[in-house]
Amino acid sequence: MGDTYWHLRLVNGLLTWTSDDRPAPDAALTLTMTRPQLLRLLAGQGTAGITMDGDPDPCSPGSSASSTRPSRTSRS
C-alpha cells in the first residue's frame, strides 16, 4: 500500500482537509511522520523525529506568506 498525503488548509479561520496519493505542490510546509509520531504530536509531546520541509511559521515576518496577509491599521 502506498503513502497517503493529507492536505490541510486553513483559510479565513476555516480548516479543511483532503487526501491524495501525492503531495500538494503549493504546500508551505510538509510534515512527514509515522502514525505513532502523529499521536504523540496530538498529545502535545512535541515534534521529535518528524521531518519538516518548508516554513514552519508561514505567518512570521519575512516569510513569503506573510506578505499576502492583510495588515492591521488603527485609527486615532
Confidence of residue 27 (pLDDT cuts 50, 70, 90): confident
Cβ count within 10 A of residue 7: 15
Instruction: List the end-to-end C-alpha distance of the chain, in Å, as a whole number.
Output: 60
Which pLDDT belongs to residue 57?
78
Distance CA 12, CA 10 (A): 7
* pTM greater than 0.75 (yes/no): no
Helices (H) and strands (E) in the chain, counts: 1, 4
Average pLDDT over residues 56-73: 53
